C-alpha cells in the first residue's frame, strides 16, 4: 500500500486522515457570500475554502442499502461529510435520509431522477429540483441549500435555474471513480494521492454496489 506521510501520520486510515485535515464541514455558501459559489473560478462548485487545510468528503446518488454502512464508518471516526441524494431514492429509502439528518450530516439535492440537467427542458426543473427539495425537507425538516448537477453537467441555464431558487451548487475536485469498482485500494490511493487543501472528494453511497467505497473508508 502506498503510504504518504499524511496517512502514516494518521495511522494508515483514510478516515483518520480526513479527520486530520477536516476542520469543518462545507459551510452553506448561500449564508456566507452574496455571490453564488458557482461564479468562482472553480465553477460550478468550489466553496470549500481554498487555502484552508480542509478536504470535504461528499457522497452522491443515495440513499441506498450502503448508506448506513457509510454513515457508521464516518460516525466512528467523527468525519463530516455531505450527502447529495437522488429524490426517487429518498422516496425509496426515507429512513436512511432521516438517519443521516439525525446524525447531523447535511443532505443536499442531486435531482429527482439523475438526468443531465443541461439537456432537459426548462419545464422539467421544478420536478427535478423542487420536488427533491420538498421530499428531503419533509423528511428531515431541513431544505437542501445546494444542488449538485448529475454527471457534473451544467450550462448557464442550469446555473440560472439553481440561482433563481436561491440555491448554490457544487462540483468536486477529486474523483476516485469509486462507482466503477476499481478496487478498494485504488479508491484509497486516488483520494489520498489527489487530495489537497480545499479539495472536494466525490464518492458514492448509492447507485450500485458500494462495498468497495465502504471498505475504502475503513482504511
The single residue among 22, 48, 58, 61 that binds Zn ion, judged by CB under 5 A, is 61
CA quadruple 133, 134, 136, 141: dihedral, nearest 10: 120
Burial of 6 (0-12, 13-18, 19+ CB in 10 A): middle
> Toward Zn ion, which CB reaches closer, 133 or 219?
133
150 touches Zn ion by CB under 5 A: yes
Stretch that binds Zn ion, among 56-64, 71-79, 116-124, 135-143 (CB under 5 A): 56-64
45 touches Zn ion by CB under 5 A: no
> Toward Zn ion, which CB reaches closer, 61 or 108?
61
Minimum CB–partner distance for residue 43 and Zn ion (Å): 18
Alpha-helical segments (H) within the chain: 5-9, 14-21, 29-32, 67-77, 87-92, 94-102, 125, 131-140, 156-164, 184-194, 211-218
Minimum CB–partner distance for residue 166 and Zn ion (Å): 22
Q: Is residue 110 annotated as a catalytic residue, yes or no?
A: no
- Give the CB-nearest residue to Zn ion: 60
> Toward Zn ion, which CB reaches closer, 16 or 162?
162
**Cα 152 versus chain centre, distance:** 12
CA dist 75 and 186 (Å) reads 23
Minimum CB–partner distance for residue 177 and Zn ion (Å): 12
Q: Which residues of 181-211 are buried (b: 16+ CB within 10 A; e: fewer)?
A: eeebebbbbbbbeebeebbbbbbbbbeeebe
> Toward Zn ion, which CB reaches closer, 60 or 135?
60
Q: Is residue 60 annotated as a catalytic residue, yes or no?
A: yes
Stretch that binds Zn ion, among 34-42, 52-60, 157-165, 170-178 (CB under 5 A): 52-60
- The set of catalytic residues is 60, 204
Binding positions for Zn ion, rule: CB under 5 A: 60-61, 150
Amino acid at each position: 500500500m502506498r503510504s504518504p506521510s499524511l496517512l502514516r501520520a494518521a495511522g494508515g486510515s483514510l478516515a483518520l486522515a480526513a479527520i486530520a485535515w477536516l476542520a469543518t464541514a462545507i459551510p452553506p455558501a448561500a449564508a456566507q457570500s452574496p455571490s453564488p459559489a458557482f461564479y468562482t473560478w472553480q465553477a460550478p462548485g468550489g466553496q470549500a475554502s481554498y487555502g484552508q487545510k480542509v478536504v470535504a468528503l461528499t457522497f452522491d446518488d443515495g440513499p441506498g442499502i450502503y448508506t448506513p454502512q457509510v454513515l457508521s464508518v464516518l460516525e466512528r471516526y467523527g468525519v463530516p461529510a455531505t450527502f447529495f441524494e437522488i429524490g426517487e431514492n429518498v422516496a425509496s429509502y426515507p429512513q436512511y435520509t432521516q438517519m443521516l439528518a439525525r446524525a447531523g450530516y447535511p443532505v443536499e439535492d442531486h435531482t429527482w431522477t439523475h438526468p443531465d440537467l443541461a439537456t432537459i427542458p426548462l419545464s422539467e426543473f421544478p420536478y427535478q429540483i423542487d420536488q427533491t427539495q420538498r421530499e428531503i425537507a419533509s423528511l428531515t425538516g431541513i431544505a437542501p441549500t445546494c444542488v449538485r448537477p448529475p454527471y457534473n453537467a451544467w450550462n448557464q441555464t442550469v446555473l440560472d435555474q439553481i440561482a433563481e431558487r436561491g440555491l448554490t451548487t457544487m462540483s468536486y475536485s477529486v474523483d476516485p471513480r469509486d462507482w466503477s469498482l476499481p478496487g478498494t485500494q485504488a479508491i484509497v490511493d486516488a483520494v489520498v494521492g489527489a487530495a489537497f487543501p480545499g479539495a472536494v472528494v466525490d464518492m458514492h453511497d448509492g447507485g450500485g454496489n458500494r462495498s468497495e467505497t465502504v471498505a475504502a473508508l475503513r482504511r
